[in-house]
Amino acid sequence: MIILYHSLPIVSGSIKVVRTSVTVSIVVALRIIGFRGGLTMINQAIFVLASVAAIGCGLVAGIFFAFSSFVMAALGRLPSDHGIAAMNSINVTVINPVFFTAFFGTALLSLVLAVGSWLWWDQASGKLLLAAAVIYLVGSIAVTMVYNVPLNNALAAVQPGTAEATNLWSRYLRDWTMWNTVRTVASVVSMILFILALIGRQVSDQA
């Protein structure tokens, strides 16, 4: 009885240790489950955003492709004054919510996906996501701001009916179309890479 009496504090202390250990283990397990659940939701969000980005790239590529393949050629067949007036009208009309949502919305998604690609970095899908995002941001957005927009501004500022306007229109048709083709290719490549990233991720999840 004496031994049992003296052992009670030790047993009581052991029970407390075990109870504390079990409690800590449960808390850690719940946190891990919660983290994994949150991670799953984030991965699903990235998948959805990448799908939307692929669609956005396709829409933008289609618009650019139309200009490089036949719109600019058609404008080039007009007298320079008429061609300049038509192009200036297009450059004003294109500033609308629908085009801006597709063009800059895809850019915003690309920024988000570039950051989120690290979550998929252990697979090829992560690298594909980053490549797709960077190519769209550089090949479409940056090229537009650095080359196409300044050309548009120069065309809007020129005085119609002058020799300067005629010469500028000739250069504009060549240079603007060339950089627009670069934007087209970049958007198409980005779309393909986004799709490949999605396919790779889906295959990996099913494996």
When pLDDT is averaged across residues 142-151 and rounded to a whole number, the result is 98
What SS3 string covers 116-158?
HHHHHCCCHHHHHHHHHHHHHHHHHHHHHHHHHHHHHHHHHHC
Tokens of 191: 């779309």
| φ, ψ for residue 77, nearest 5 deg | -80, -15
Closest of 43, 70, 28 to residue 125, by C-alpha:
43
Contact 183, 143 (CB under 8 A): yes
What is the model's pLDDT at position 9? 46
pLDDT tens digits, residue range 63-96?
999 999 999 999 999 999 999 999 999 999 999 9
Q: What one-character-per-residue DSSP string does 11-22 give?
A: HHHHHHHHHHHH
Which of 25-29, 41-45, 86-90, 191-195 has the least mean pLDDT? Answer: 25-29
In the chain, domain spans: 49-206
